[in-house]
Amino acid sequence: MRLVLLGAPGSGKGTQAARLKSYLEVPHISTGDLLRAEVAAGSPLGLQAKEVMARGDLVSDEILLGMLKDRFSRDDTRDGFILDGYPRNLAQAAALGELLTSLGQQFDAAVQLDVDNELLIERLAGRAQAEGRADDNPDSVRKRLKVYDDQTAPVIEFYRQQDQLTVVDGVGTLDEVFDRILAAIKVSRTPG
């Protein structure tokens, strides 16, 4: 299964991708996690990304594509993946298409987790308290939601027009949302 998970910050992409990874037994590729690992390691790329992420902006397309190519050069992505957090703008959507074509692959579905803004803000405020992530402060959250509306919403529209989009209601318990995603990608739920 080759899956692209889309949704606003706080919509549950990372949360559900972690579950899908175990269930579908394919790697979870989170561009946010890859960037945070670079920041934690203090690499030159991480130093460049740190401030951009903390204020809620997008890191440059060039850096992201380099990271993605590197990750997709590993063998474990050959038979499937869950891509979480990419693409976030139309240029990235085009770059992903080109990358997958060059690898002789296509994704099976782009799944958008749909959650209204009020609940997104509530969830991210909860995570700010629980985890203290640098970009979960109110100013950065406002910025991330605006960046999503301005730059990522057109990606959703693009996939919709290509008939590649499946919208899933992201409001509910973790199990409810997970079951909806499996139903949307037509994977049966085994008991337990």
Mind telling me the catalytic residues? 13, 88, 127, 133, 144
HSE, CB side, 13 Å, CA atoms: give it for residue 172.
Answer: 14
Return the residues of window 15-44 that contact ligand B4P according to CB under 6 A. 15, 30-32, 35
52 sits in which H/E element? helix 44-54
Nearer to ligand B4P among residue 52 and residue 153 (C-beta): 52
55 sits in which H/E element? none
- What's the min distance (Å) between Cβ of 149 and ligand B4P? 13
Considering only 100-108, 120-128, 161-169, 182-190, which stretch makes contact with ligand B4P by CB under 6 A?
120-128
Strands 165-169 and 28-30: unpaired
Q: What is the x/- site pattern for ligand B4P, positions 122-161, by CB under 6 A?
A: -x--xx-------x--------x-----------------
Is 4 within 8 Å of 83 (Cβ atoms)? yes
Indicate the SS3 state at residue 30: strand
- What's the min distance (Å) between Cβ of 1 and ligand B4P? 19
Q: Which of 58, 35, 83 lies closest to 148 in space, CA to CA?
A: 58
Beta strands in 85-164 (DSSP E): 109-114
The residue ranges that bind ligand B4P (CB under 6 A) are 9-15, 30-32, 35, 52-53, 56-59, 64, 85-86, 88, 92, 123, 126-127, 135, 144, 172, 174, 177
